[in-house]
Amino acid sequence: MAMPRALTMAAMAKFSNDLNTEKQTKGPSLFKGQVTPKSWFTSYVVGAGGAFFAEVGFYPFEGLPQKHFLKVTGPNGAVKTVFKYKQFVKDWSYLIKYKVNGSGILVASYGLYKAGTKVYLPDLHPVCQSLIAASFAVATQTGIIYPLTKAYNWRAEQIALAAKNGVKVKTPCIGKAMIQMAKANGIGSLYKGYITNYNIAAPTLMWYYTMDEVYLKALKKRWAKNHPENPIVPWYIPAIAGTTGSLTAILIASPVEYLRETVANRKAHELKFNPNKAVPAKVTRDSLHVSPRYTIKKITGPMVRRAYNQTPETIRQTVGSSLKATLQGPTVRDIIKRAILRH
């Protein structure tokens, strides 16, 4: 009985060691090994995690609480506040599915294209490399998220129209809604307005990623010069780079926004549209709502990356400790002896 148990313990010990040691395996990679599926997915998790914390941080300031808490007058005239949990779940489901995932796709795509520009355009200036990579990243993110949001809005319109006519319909999933929308309006309807949406998002995001890298590189260089004994930069260095980069991007992109709004509203005198007031108002709004979001992403991004990278090791250590404790447990013979001696 001792021999089978010894063999079992040896096999389980080897399995435990395999769990506690990370195997170095060569997997698929792109751009001379600079991008792997694991690194791409890590970038996606970091971007999505940072966006989630940014949305949580701005939740109390953007009118969402007013949508989720409704004041209702009771039978005795007393006013009480009712939490609209269905609307809360609906709004946060939309944020997580589209905004949070969109941010993850954007960050991962930017890392992918930036590696490509470094490999295939090594002589190009780093600023130009960042602008090219960011433009392709925005195009990728918009190409994935935009048709999903179009199908989401079309599904909501169809459900509201059916409810108005007194017809109860089952809410289709977003994939089925896309197919129904394509059948009803043509496949081109999913991407109608894509160019306009891209032109709105691209200038700010392109310059944000570029200026963020410029500021971050300069701040890291200055930190290494002033603190040679501590090469690890503190958390507020990326936060400062992200904040200043986003503010700079907003100021650079504002003239482009001015021209776009002016061209799009040629009949400005009839529509009572004044770009001289609308564009500065948008710059102010973005500075108050968009820029702090980038700051939160830059602060929480490294924390998400660290937690994500340490999770497999924690799981391996936990499973390995459990297996080790199981292997070191008493045998059946010892348990029987103890039971007999007790009696």
Percent of the chain at pLDDT > 70 equals 74
Task: Convert the pLDDT of each residue in 290-322 to its tens digit.
Answer: 788 888 888 888 888 888 877 776 765 666 566
- Cβ neighbours of residue 275 closer than 8 Å, sequence gap 6 or more: 258, 261, 262, 265, 268
* Residue 100 contacts residue 44 (beta carbons within 8 Å): no
The answer as to whether 166 is a domain residue is yes
The answer as to whether 6 is a domain residue is no
Mean pLDDT of 279-297: 78
Identify the bridge partners of residue 79 per DSSP, sorted by sequence position: 73
The answer as to whether 249 is a domain residue is yes
The answer as to whether 2 is a domain residue is no
Q: Which of 159, 157, 179, 180 is nearest to 168 (CA)?
A: 159
Number of structural domains (the chain) is: 1
Say yes or no to pLDDT of 22 above 60.
no
The answer as to whether 5 is a domain residue is no
* Residue 59 contacts residue 322 (beta carbons within 8 Å): no
Task: Convert the pLDDT of each residue in 324-335 to its tens digit.
Answer: 555 555 555 666
Say yes or no to pLDDT of 7 above 50.
no
The answer as to whether 119 is a domain residue is yes
The answer as to whether 93 is a domain residue is yes
Round to whole Å and give the CA distance between 138 and 6.
Answer: 58
For the chain, where are the alpha helices, taking DSSP H only? 2-20, 37-58, 64-68, 85-94, 101-120, 126-164, 174-185, 194-226, 236-264, 268-271, 275-327, 332-342
Least confident of 52-66, 81-95, 319-333: 319-333
For residues 245 and 279, the model is more confident at 245
Apex CA 252: angle with CA 246 and CA 254, to 5°? 100
The answer as to whether 341 is a domain residue is no
* Residue 255 contacts residue 282 (beta carbons within 8 Å): no
Domain of residue 253 covers 39-269+293-308
Give the position of tokens 């060691």: 17
